[in-house]
Amino acid sequence: MGFTSLGLSAPILKAIGDQGYDKPSPIQEQAIPAVLAGKDVMAAAQTGTGKTAGFTLPILELLDNGQRVKPNHVRALVLTPTRELAAQVQDNIYKYSRYQKLTSNVVFGGVKINPQMMKLRKGTDILVATPGRLLDLYQQNAIQFSQLEVLVLDEADRMLDMGFIRDIRKILALLPQKRQNLLFSATFSDEIRQLAKGLVNNPVEVSVAPANSTANTIEQSIYPTDKRKKAPMLCKLIQEGDWKQVLVFCRTKHGANRLSYYLNGQGITAAPIHGNKSQNARTKALADFKSGEVRVLVATDIAARGIDIPQLPQVVNFELPHVAEDYVHRIGRTGRAGEVGKAISLVEAAEASELFAIEKLIQQVLPRLELEGYKAVNELPKSKLDTRPIRPKKPKKPKKPKIDHIDGQRSGDNARGHKPAGKNKRHYGSSTTQNRNSKSGANG
């Protein structure tokens, strides 16, 4: 089935043609007609399946009805968890709407607020925003919601993981009751369903991949090794494999900086991307990586979430994530759209429990490879796949944040001051520092 049969009109079809897409992806095929019908929609499909166009295209169709947006108003609002993702989604909207009269804008934290207030003055048909900055702008009277028709939560699972729930609820309270709600996510977790209860009415549910399954176009393997051998081993793998474009995941911002510095010292161009970097530095790192000027992008989980780099051939886990689901998100960056991708993990003995949790989640023992000269002295325990079903997680209780964002103490950064409860705590615990730093960055 082609795009023409989905009910989109000529200017949108022309823009799709410019992108070179010849048919809708499975999630688009299901989501687009439901959104066009004015329904609330919950959509789940793994990363890289074209969810952005799944909500953007029908919204562009719905808004193109001759209605004019009033000054400082917005007709459709897309919330995303990170700055990169916000910029990327708006980039998509801009491309798909080029033959229409509709306007779009993007706002996020970590950069000056004044230019964003100016941009919003004329009114915006589609606004893409991170939650914190949106609330800041609202408090400064830069934005009004009485004309709002459509709300989208993109990467809703990640927004919850990152502790945005309170901000989301605050935003919901500001919006008109009568509106269309769209919730897009990689998975339908218990938390997502909980959130959906207070958000969507009679939703059409669409999904394509089973939750937490990894795309089968990804070849996964691990190299058991020792901590201090990881960096030189990575160099060797990059050089011997002649890898041209590789995304490497570290657990911490410091780790990402250190590794990037080391690689550059070895003559392999690398750039870190994480929340302590200014927005400009992050945009530049991503652009340089996409253009091939930088060979290795060293990322933390939060910074990398949702970044769209087409057909990434290599993903490396320099360290395994503490949260097993993040492994699935990380390797989702490779093997997209039918391309075969490789995901390798350098694993030291101390990471055995993380490894076993991942293998349990993906229900697969990862094949172990060796690189001469870099074998583990400290032996990594053998994997035993536990095939008992995974118990559903209890919904998290919302935790009282330490900072009251209403008082303007917000940084508007991706990760908010309040930490998610429970097991994610350790993992995202550094977000407070990230906020503080980016705030001073934004003001300075």
Question: Which spans of this chain sit near Mg ion (rule: CB under 5 A)?
Answer: 51
Q: Give whichever of 45 and 316 is closer to ligand ADP, judged by the CB atom.
A: 45
Q: Which is nearer to ligand ADP, 334 or 438 (CB)?
A: 334
47 binds ligand ADP (CB under 6 A): yes
| Interface with ligand ADP, residue 335, by CB under 6 A | no
Read out DSSP for 374-390?
---SSPPPPP----SPP
Positive or negative torsion for Cα 13, 18, 24, 25: negative
Which distant-in-sequence residues (6+ apart) come within 8 Å of 66 by Cβ?
A: none
Q: Closer to ligand ADP at the Cβ: 47 or 220?
A: 47
The entry of Mg ion, ligand ADP, none near residue 24 (CB within 5 to 8 angstroms by kind) is ligand ADP
Listed residue (159, 149, 157) closest to 127, CA to CA? 149
Q: Where are the alpha helices (DSSP H) in 242-320?
A: 253-265, 279-291, 301-304
Total residue count of the chain as it appears in this document: 444
Query: Is residue 49 a contact residue for ligand ADP (CB under 6 A)?
Result: yes
d(CA 366, CA 360) in angstroms, rounded, equals 10
Query: What is the β-pairing status of strands 124-129 and 180-185?
Result: unpaired
Q: Which of residues 337-376 bind ligand ADP (CB under 6 A)?
A: 337
> Residue 25 interacts with ligand ADP (CB under 6 A)?
yes
Rounded Cα–Cα distance for residues 151 and 77 (Å): 5
Task: Name the segment binding ligand ADP (CB under 6 A); options: 42-50, 268-276, 349-357, 392-400.
Answer: 42-50
If binding is defined by CB under 6 A, does position 329 make contact with ligand ADP? no
Indicate the residue among 97 and 411 with the shorter CB distance to ligand ADP: 97
The nearer residue to ligand ADP, 99 or 262, going by C-beta atoms, is 99
The smaller minimum CB distance to Mg ion, of residues 133 and 158, is found at 158
Q: Which residue number, 1 or 173, has a Cβ lying nearer to ligand ADP?
A: 1
Q: Supply the minimum distance, in Å, between the C-beta of residue 13 and ligand ADP.
A: 12
Query: Taking CB under 6 A as the rule, does residue 330 contact ligand ADP?
Result: no
Give the one entry of ligand ADP, Mg ion, none that residue 120 binds, where binding means its C-beta sits below a cut-off of 5 to 8 angstroms depending on kind: none
Among 66, 210, 310, 367, which residue sits at the site for ligand ADP (rule: CB under 6 A)?
310
95 binds ligand ADP (CB under 6 A): no
Among residues 184 and 356, whose Cβ is nearest to Mg ion? 184
Least distance from ligand ADP to the Cβ atom of residue 28, Å: 6
Could you give the C-alpha distances from 46 to 1, 51, 306, in angstroms and in order? 21, 9, 11
Least separation in angstroms between CB 147 and ligand ADP: 26
- Total residues at interface with ligand ADP (CB under 6 A): 15
Task: Give residues with Cβ within 8 angstroms of 37, minimum separation 6.
Answer: none
299: three-class secondary structure by DSSP = strand
Task: Enumerate residues 6+ apart whose C-beta is below 8 A from 389.
Answer: none
**Which tokens in the block code for residue 236?**
């060797």
Q: Which of 50, 272, 417, 441 binds ligand ADP (CB under 6 A)?
A: 50
Among 127, 126, 121, residue whose Cα is nearest residue 141: 121
Distances (CA, A) of 299 to 52, 270, 381, 430: 22, 10, 27, 15
Strand order through the sheet with 204-207:
104-107, 124-129, 74-79, 150-153, 180-185, 41-44, 204-207
> Which DSSP category does 123 fall into?
-
Identify the residue among 31, 44, 52, 124 touching ligand ADP (CB under 6 A): 52
Q: Is 308 in the site for ligand ADP (CB under 6 A)?
A: yes
Q: Which of residues 410-429 bind ligand ADP (CB under 6 A)?
A: none
| Position 53 contacts ligand ADP (CB under 6 A) | yes
- In the complex, what is the shortest distance from the CB of residue 266 to ligand ADP, in angstroms, rounded to a whole number? 31
Distance CA 7, CA 286 (A): 35
Q: In the complex, what is the shortest distance from the CB of residue 321 to ligand ADP, in angstroms, rounded to a whole number?
A: 18
Cβ-based nearer residue to ligand ADP, 270 or 331: 331
**Least distance (Å) between residue 45 CB and ligand ADP:** 6
Q: Which residues does residue 308 pair with via DSSP β-bridges, in sequence order?
A: none
Name 106's bridge partners. Answer: 128
**Cα 203 vs. chain centroid, distance in angstroms?**
23
Positions that interact with ligand ADP (CB under 6 A): 21, 24-25, 28, 45, 47-53, 308, 310, 337
